[in-house]
A and B are shown apart, each in its own frame.
Chain A
Amino acid sequence: MIYKETGQYKSSYKSDHAIFPLIQDKVLFSTLMLIAFLVVPFFINSYWEKAILVPFLIFSLAAIGLNILTGYCGQVSLGTGGFMAVGAFSTYKIMTSFPDLNIMIIVLISGVITAAVGIVFGLPSLRIKGFYLAVATLAAQFFLVWLFNKVPWFYNYSATGQITVSERLMFGIPVTGATAPPYATYLFCLVLVVLLGFAAKNMIRSKIGRSWMAIRDMDIAAEIIGVPPLKTKLSAFAVSSFFIGVSGALYFAVFLGAIEVTESFDIMTISFPVLFMIIIGGLGSMLGSFLGAGFIVTLPIGLKFLMVDLIGLSAVTAKHFEISIWGLLMIVFLIVEPHGLARLWSITKEKLRRWPFPY
């Protein structure tokens, strides 16, 4: 009875096409937004910022990006780390070359540069599919990381290959560098995530998104009914890489501040976790991207807190447990709920609709 849609009449196409057609969803979403924008900034401390919220937002963005490519367009990619590195190094190069440019613009330009790189590495997708494409994108991952480590121009010839962010302001408040207050970095990421999130949602609901899904479901049939594979696949690569590039830029500039390409954009630290995010969250679901990112970012921290601070295990025992629980959960998840956390949410909604009746 809680999620009752009866009585909610739509009398125009506009209201029928709203992102949240149900009043309940609208209320829920608006409350969430109000809390995120008006409550959290007043309570956030640097632990919540650096350990949970900012990584959550950044990885959500990366997950949306990968979900567009893999979940909606059906092109498997393992190159997320490499593309994030492109975003990060573009930001660094633009930042050091144009010291007066606004950080928001720098981040968006980095996204555009990554989109261009994504198109180049998306070209093989026209010929190869599935696992073979995964291998091709894996090549992108290793090539890009190698490139940024090998060519000193990218890290401005610094002795160690590290790139370090310098302070940048937004409305007079630093959002990058060590002096940035927690609320500023959080809000900066939040604004970008909300704006880009809506952009992605709307793209998915419009013609371009439908052609992605057509290609995903059956590319030959899609081609026959007039969906051009070249344009569609490459646009998916471009849009996806844009999102991943922006998240890479934020990962470097706002979150970590100093980065070493081999360590920070390693396949095990970025590419696989982001892939797990969309698998656990739900392939082809916006909500799934957020749930997956939240799950993967908070799970290790939550387990550590539970085992070390509450139960009192030693840090190393907890770590061993964490690694095994992590693997176990992954398997359990794939068996019990292959459609991910997003599916759990829709089951919950269904149950709430029928509540208090069990059937």
Chain B
Amino acid sequence: MRIKQLIIGLTSAVVAISGFVEIAVADLKFPMLVYRTGAYAPSGIPNADGFVDYYKMINARDGGIGGEKILHPECETGYKTQVGVECYEKNKENAMVFQPMSTGITYQLIPKATNDGVTVYSTGYGRTSAKNGKVFKWIFNAPATYWDGASIAVRHVLKENLGNIKGKTIALVYHNSAYGKEPIRTLEVLAQKHGYKLMLLPVDHPGQEQKSTWLKIRKSRPDYVLMWGWGVMNSVAIKSAASIGFPMDKFIGIWWSGSENDVLPSGMEAHGYKALTFNAPGDNYQVHKDIKKYVFDKGEQSGDGSHFGTVLYNRGLFQAMVQVEAATVAQKIHGTSKITAAMYRDGMENVKLDAKRYEELGFKDFAPAFENTCENHGGSGLAAVQQWDAKAKKWNLITEYMYGDTEVVNKLIAEDSTKYAEEQKITLRCN
């Protein structure tokens, strides 16, 4: 009885003070919304580790960005929108940039962050039409969008079939949420253009239940299967595909459906599975050496360190690198190391990563060059196809980085963002 009252009293007291705690105003704050628990943890953990290790490395090697240490408080969202909002509200003060790592939370934060003046960087996910910087002042989604991804996948299919896919069937297995639905519009337009048949197969959250989906695929035998999956959904899909004997080299995932955690559970059967990517696999880059030296050798790695050099870990490094680079650019533009949230946005808008800059940052040949401009917050839109080698247990790039169907994609982006601007009464920038 008494213990219970104590617990209740304690919780309510704790809740009462929580809102009034001030976070020390110093350094540069890069709040992290992560999910190391729940159905999306297999994807969330390696990615978050990449972020943390990169920040730690920068703090240890360079003493921060331009002398300002990086603060990276973690907030566990469990991929839940409501918790994401709580995390955002808790950390938004003096925050440089938010990386929601969830399309749902990104949609949630777009109006809020725009109103609060906080940058949101959804690296290759989130709202595709946020590429249009004229409408979305505070939102960035470089280096590539889902619509780029969808058209690159179709381009790869076209190439394999010598440019003719008339009458073929392409199935899309997608997470039944805003994230999974993003590519549908593009794939439909492309279906008209190239004459293939599109088959839509939604998989409900959290994605473990896919029996009926793959039964349908087994029955109607589409020529290709594209996948927009995340978390446990990926590995379940690859396993199910293997169990019905679907050819792995005709199975192409988006860049969020192509990590080691997705293919390893299927063992040899996953051999030949393909996925898009906008960064290279492997752990032989300069940045990895630096992280080994400054973070791992001191035993300060995030998590258990087992994800070092995996696809999503590398993606985390890339995302963190762009965020840090934006701060560096902002410091240069404004001539001060103590940048504000508004200055940071200017930095993000002027990020320019070419081969030379990549090399300086330790990312030589790691990713294709891109730059943000006032009009274009979506980067280059370049991505390549990688293929899983189950014997060697590694991903190999099998194509060059290629553009999507920019003509189709840009038209769709213009349509969608204009509609949003009208709805929200936004005046266009960059004139």
Binding site for B on A (CB under 8 A): 45-48, 50-52, 55, 149, 159-162, 164, 166, 177-179, 256-258, 260, 262-264, 266, 269, 295, 298-306, 309-310, 314-316, 318-320, 323, 329, 332-333, 336-337, 344
Contacts and interface: CB of A to CB of B under 8 A. Distances in A.
Contacts of A164: 107, 111, 423
A315 B366 CA distance: 30
B306 interface: no
Given A262-B204, A301-B18, A332-B4, 14 more contacts: A48-B19, A159-B185, A159-B416, A166-B424, A256-B108, A258-B108, A260-B81, A260-B104, A263-B205, A269-B82, A298-B12, A316-B34, A316-B76, A344-B5
Nearest to B10: A306
Interface in B300-330: none
Contact of B74 (A149, A162, A264, A315): A315
| Main SS at interface, chain A | helix
Given A159-B184, A260-B178, A302-B15, A55 B76 contact: no
Contacts of B181: 159-161
A316 B111 contact: no
Most chain B CB within a 10 A radius of its CB, from A47, A159, A166, A298: A159
Contact of A301 (B8, B86, B177, B182): B86
Given A178-B112, A315-B76, A337-B4, A309 B18 contact: yes
A319 B15 contact: no
Interface in B125-143: 127
B408 interface: no
Interface in B7-47: 7-8, 10-12, 14-15, 17-19, 21, 34, 36-37
| Main SS at interface, chain B | helix
Contacts of A263: 80-81, 104, 177, 205
7 contacts: A50-B85, A160-B127, A162-B107, A164-B423, A263-B177, A304-B76, A316-B36
Nearest to B18: A305
A298 B36 contact: no
A162 B106 CA distance: 12
B6 interface: no
A306 B9 CA distance: 13
A298 B15 contact: yes
A260 B90 CA distance: 23
Contact of B115 (A178, A262, A329, A337): A178
Nearest to A180: B115
Contacts of B34: 315-316
Contact of A305 (B1, B15, B115, B416): B15
B1 A336 contact: yes
A81 to B, nearest CB: 13
A332 B8 CA distance: 13
Interface of B: 1, 4-5, 7-8, 10-12, 14-15, 17-19, 21, 34, 36-37, 74-76, 78, 80-83, 85-86, 89-90, 92, 103-104, 107-108, 110-112, 114-115, 127, 176-178, 181-182, 184-185, 204-205, 416, 423-424
Given A177-B111, A263-B104, A319-B36, A50 B89 contact: yes
B182 A159 contact: yes
Given A47-B90, A178-B114, A257-B111, A305 B177 contact: no
Nearest to B92: A46
Contacts of B19: 45, 47-48, 51-52
A258 B14 contact: no
A33 B89 CA distance: 26
B312 to A, nearest CB: 16
B368 to A, nearest CB: 26
B185 A256 contact: no
Contacts of A52: 15, 19
A166 B89 contact: no
Nearest to B102: A263
Nearest to B175: A262
Contacts of A344: 5
A306 B14 contact: yes
Contacts of B11: 298-299, 302-303, 306
Contact of B107 (A160, A166, A179): A160
A55 B178 contact: no
Contacts of B7: 329
B28 to A, nearest CB: 19
A262 B108 CA distance: 15
A107 to B, nearest CB: 20
Contact of B178 (A161, A257, A304): A161
B15 A257 contact: no
Nearest to B204: A262
Contacts of A320: 37
A55 B86 CA distance: 11
Contacts of B78: 319
Given A159-B182, A178-B112, A298-B12, A258 B107 contact: yes
A52 B4 CA distance: 22
A155 B15 CA distance: 36
Contacts of A269: 80, 82
B18 A256 contact: no
Given A45-B19, A298-B11, A51 B74 contact: no
Nearest to A300: B83
A162 B82 contact: no
Contact of B4 (A55, A316, A336): A336
A256 B82 contact: yes
Contacts of B112: 178, 257
Most chain B CB within a 10 A radius of its CB, from A160, A269, A310, A329: A160
Contacts of A46: 89, 92
Contacts of B15: 52, 298, 301-302, 305
A299 B189 CA distance: 47
Contacts of B12: 298, 302
Most chain A CB within a 10 A radius of its CB, from B80, B82, B177, B424: B82
A304 B18 CA distance: 10
A166 B4 CA distance: 44
Contacts of B92: 46
B115 to A, nearest CB: 4
B178 to A, nearest CB: 4
A262 B177 contact: yes
A298 B423 CA distance: 35
Given A159-B184, A160-B107, A316 B18 contact: no
7 closest residue pairs by CB, A with B: A178-B111, A160-B178, A316-B36, A178-B115, A315-B74, A302-B11, A305-B18
Contacts of B86: 50-51, 301
Contacts of B4: 332-333, 336-337
A258 B82 CA distance: 11
Contacts of B205: 262-263, 266
A193 B7 CA distance: 28
